[in-house]
Structure formats: structure tokens, C-alpha cells
Amino acid sequence: MKKTYYVLVAATLLLGACTAEQKPQAEPIVEAIEPVITTQQITVTPQQVYTGDTVLINHTHAIQQEPTNIQQWQQEQLALGSADLSLHIHAPLTAMLTAAQQDGVDQFVMNNGYRSVADQQLLYEQKGSELALPAGYSEHHLGLAVDINSRNGLMEHTAEGAWLAENSWAYGFILRYPADKTEITGIAYEAWHFRYVGLPHSYIMQKENWALEEYIAYLQQHKQYRTTYNDIAYEVQYIPVSAPTTVEILKDVLYNVSGDNAGGVLITTQQQFARQ
């Protein structure tokens, strides 16, 4: 009798355990997490290869599109004379010469700025190949180049020339034809010829001691350059463009697209660092 009782109890416990194991479990609630989008897509076109502040004009690269936003720059309190230039470089030019004046360097004379292809052709016919470039192959067609001289003498021997050679990069300008780059540029040393390329490009060229030709060649080969200047992180990407091309860049950053006149564009992004 007792044996039968123990068997019944054991069976009851086993049945209860099985029932407990078979009890359905509640499904966990999983909330969908939206992916964080950190990039954006932009489209660049072949037309952009020929526009912008980094367009290369030299004896092998002719201008493809003349500017349309040329206006006269004239600031009598900063320099004698005037120059026709692309409107967007008026402000950095004024800032540069104002800074020079604050340093006691103020004997500037403005000469050549923008020159049309037609005017260049006339100049070439008058002066010949020894003193003038063929029409289409002069940086003055861009409205980004300006010849700045000094009332005190030749630029290479004056405070004006020395100040600009040392400081122009901080305002987006470069000395386009330095004495040590004549084999690369194909142009003799011109201490008066300054070209606007904008930041960070002028900073990079000054830092690396590159002429514009060398800068473009580096980007064409390596496709990227990163640097930090004045608490801003810059990234310059080189993208070959022969058809409309989609490019992925960081989201919510300032960016600029500028051509090289040699088959590609420079996409420059910048991010401001917060000071600690």
C-alpha cells in the first residue's frame, strides 16, 4: 500500500514538472533602432572641372570658361590704382592689404587683374611670346590673379614684396611663380603675381612648399589630403569626373567643390573644433 502511494506521489511531481516546463514564455519586446546617418551624397558634373578657385591655367591647360562676376577693386587708402577681379576675392584682398598696413607696410600699387581672352590675344601680338602668353593660357583670364607692385621699387627688393610672400597664404593667396619653381611652372620668377586659391589650399601649398602644379599632381595621385588649421579640420578629396558622379561625404559639414581644369574636382570639407 505504501509502495503504491509513493509511486503516485512521484508520478504527480513528474507531471507537474513537465507541465511547468511546457508553459509558454512571453516573447521579448524588441524596439527598432533607427540607423544613425553620418554621410550624405552630392553629385558633381563635368562642368565643375572648369570652375572654381583651384583651376589650373598654364602652358598646357587653357581656360575653358571665362568668369562672369568681375568687378573693379579699388581701395585708395590701401593701394594706388585698381584691378578688375572676381567679386568673391575682393574681401580677402582687402583684409590682406589692411593687415599689411597695420604692420607698417603700405606702399602698394595695384596693376593687372582680369584680362579677357581677346585682350590677351592683342597683347600677345604686340609683345610676342617672350613677354606675353598666348590667348587662353594666362591666369589673368580667371579674375583670380592680380599683379601687386610697390611704390618703393621692385617687389623682390621691397617690404611690400617680402610681406606678401610671407603672409599672403593666410588670406587664401599664393605667390604663383616663385623663384625656386620656374622649371615646374614654366614661368620666370614674378614677385608681383599673386593668385587666389582660397583656404585651406593656400595653407597646404605654403606648408608643403608646393606650386599649384605640384599640389594638383599630389591630389591626382593620392586622392586625399587632410590637415588642421585654426581649429578647423579640413579634408580635400580628388575626384576624377567625366560624367555626373555621386560622391559620399560627411553629413552636416561645410563643403566646397572646385575644379582643377585637368579632369577632376577637389571636394573640400571642413569641421570646426570646439575649444576646450
Catalytic residues: 190
| Cα 228 to Cα 72: distance, rounded to the nearest angstrom | 34
Residue 95: phi and psi, rounded to 5, are -60, -40
Strands laid side by side in the 224-229 sheet: 224-229, 232-240, 264-272, 254-259
SS3 string of 48-117?
HHHCCCCCCCECCECCCCCCCCEEEECCCCCEEECEEEEHHHHHHHHHHHHHHHHCCCCCEEECCCCCCH
> How is residue 75 written as a grid cell?
581701395
> How is residue 109 written as a grid cell?
600699387
> How is residue 97 written as a grid cell?
592689404
| Cα 112 to Cα 147: distance, rounded to the nearest angstrom | 5
CB atoms within 10 A of CB 37: 8
Residue 224, C-beta contacts closer than 8 angstroms, at least 6 positions apart: 235, 236, 237, 238
